[in-house]
A and B are shown apart, each in its own frame.
Chain A
């Protein structure tokens, strides 16, 4: 039954940046081994949802339960240790560190992280450029580095923000393959994605956000039936 364990449950989550109220009572959950996407237009609150989970917003209220632990009052630096790995939209590669230092930077949050050898095998480009300054990498390589470093930490719940943004189709395809592999390993993934064609074939469920609310939940098998509805929400 462990496959159906709930890894993340969010209830009535509100988030604020200073005076602006960004999230208006989000309810959602993610089960172990699921790949769930947050879809929506720019500014709908998808990135803020991830940041709120990591306690990176100004203020938040409601409930965020990770692996059975209530985290709404938890300091930011303790959250990762529940097994979370966060990959920010701007990738967050450190320019003052080289590739390998970037890779080794996040402390282990669980004991069974992927080894550096395994990661270099998965992303051979990173091995070749391991002594280059982190920000000298191409966009795609930086994205792979951002992903690799949270895999090494042993995180088993991944929060990934727009990982395909601005990347060439061949790299997007590679990232898709990596996500499928991670899902096979039993990792739980919450993915903010603009590129619906990338997300559709690999995701189990989709939440659609608008103006800081979740307006629709779509299971993979309902996609075809709800395509039109989705298109109105996403404005495509």
Chain B
């Protein structure tokens, strides 16, 4: 076995890969949360449920209407995004002027309801979704074996996060979004339909969770509680990155995945808590988060 300074390199790289995979999901989910929080100042507790919905939608689509993985990768995020659009338009907008606590409770309640419905229909044991044929192989690297599907998740997540960052930070549409975050009333006065942008942004953020769900279906078991388990960690990541910071959410998501992976190798007992430990330290030293702007 390859070792270096007493470190088992196979084990280390294996855990690093697991960390990167988890980090990819953290990044996609916290990016969606950050976009929604940035524009609407709403903490969407249903983001985990939407991730679960994405995974289930992919599974159901394959099971019952024969929509394969690649088609699901396109169709499911759109469908989940549409659920988000409806949710914003008919549930969140009516209470948009109330205290943000209401929308937080609303999305939390929705998450529980969606999760409950799926537990009732499909039980809590979890369904399996086959890895698409094209990605069943793997590559042997010097210190590890890299399954194609895992490599694909990392690439897909980084590309989607990167494109989203570019769209928000570098395009005209993104400028509307950023400016709408700062001063929605003035944007309306300039002739921009802010309510429409808000609805579509919410749909987009939720659609990202749906996409993460499809990516996750072949490697995690598709079960009703897959989202709620992940969501708590994702919230910690959004806080570490700085609420509403787009780049912060992406980098922190990937970074925390890696830190978690390394902890799993060096001190496995702490691997479930290390992210929260980081959160405490960051909040003590930089309350606005690593990439957040001080108020």
Is B a genuine binding partner of A?
A: yes
Residues of A within 8 A of B (CB): 54-56, 75-81, 86, 88, 92, 94-97, 101, 104-107, 109, 150, 153
Count of B interface residues, CB-CB < 8 Å? 18
Write out the residue numbers on chain A whose beta carbons fall within 8 Å of the beta carbon of B189. 54, 56, 76, 79-80, 86, 88
Q: How would you classify the secondary structure of chain A's contact residues: helix, strand, loop or mixed?
A: loop
Q: Is the CB of A96 within 8 A of B194?
A: no
Inter-chain residue pair count (beta carbon < 8 A)? 59
Q: Is the CB of A77 within 8 A of B178?
A: no
Other-chain contact of A92, B186, B191, B195 (Cβ < 8 Å) = B186
Q: Could you tell me the distance between the alpha carbons of A56 and B185 in the complex, rounded to whole angstroms? A: 7
Write out the residue numbers on chain A whose beta carbons fall within 8 Å of the beta carbon of B185. 56, 76
20 additional A-B residue pairs with CB within 8 Å, beyond A76-B185, A86-B186, A92-B183:
A56-B185, A77-B188, A77-B191, A77-B192, A78-B191, A81-B191, A92-B186, A94-B179, A94-B183, A95-B182, A96-B178, A96-B179, A104-B172, A104-B175, A105-B175, A105-B179, A107-B190, A107-B191, A109-B191, A153-B191
Of the listed residues B175, B183, B188, B190, the one surrounded by the most CB atoms of chain A closer than 10 A to its CB is B190
Q: Could you tell me the distance between the alpha carbons of A109 and B192 in the complex, rounded to whole angstroms? A: 10
Q: Is the CB of B191 within 8 A of A80?
A: yes
Write out the residue numbers on chain B whose beta carbons fall within 8 Å of the beta carbon of A55. 188
Q: Could you tell me the distance between the alpha carbons of A80 and B178 in the complex, rounded to whole angstroms? A: 20
Q: Could you tell me the distance between the alpha carbons of A202 and B185 in the complex, rounded to whole angstroms? A: 30
Encoded as 1 (CB less than 8 Å from any A CB) or 0, chain B from 178 to 208 comes to 1101110110111111110000000000000
A-B contact pairs, 17 of them (CB 8 A): A56-B185, A56-B189, A75-B193, A76-B185, A76-B189, A77-B191, A77-B194, A79-B191, A81-B191, A96-B182, A97-B175, A104-B175, A105-B176, A105-B179, A105-B190, A106-B192, A107-B190
Write out the residue numbers on chain A whose beta carbons fall within 8 Å of the beta carbon of B191. 77-81, 106-107, 109, 153
Write out the residue numbers on chain B whose beta carbons fall within 8 Å of the beta carbon of A101. 175
Least CB distance, A55 to chain B, in whole angstroms: 8
Least CB distance, A83 to chain B, in whole angstroms: 10
Of the listed residues B175, B181, B189, the one surrounded by the most CB atoms of chain A closer than 10 A to its CB is B189
Look across to chain A and name the residue whose beta carbon is closest to the beta carbon of B169.
A96
Closest 3 A/B residue pairs (Cβ): A80-B191, A106-B190, A76-B188
Look across to chain B and name the residue whose beta carbon is closest to the beta carbon of A85.
B190
Least CB distance, B193 to chain A, in whole angstroms: 5
Write out the residue numbers on chain A whose beta carbons fall within 8 Å of the beta carbon of B186. 86, 88, 92
Other-chain contact of B190, A80, A95, A96, A97 (Cβ < 8 Å) = A80
Other-chain contact of B178, A76, A79, A86, A97 (Cβ < 8 Å) = A97
Of the listed residues B176, B178, B183, B186, the one surrounded by the most CB atoms of chain A closer than 10 A to its CB is B186
Least CB distance, B288 to chain A, in whole angstroms: 15
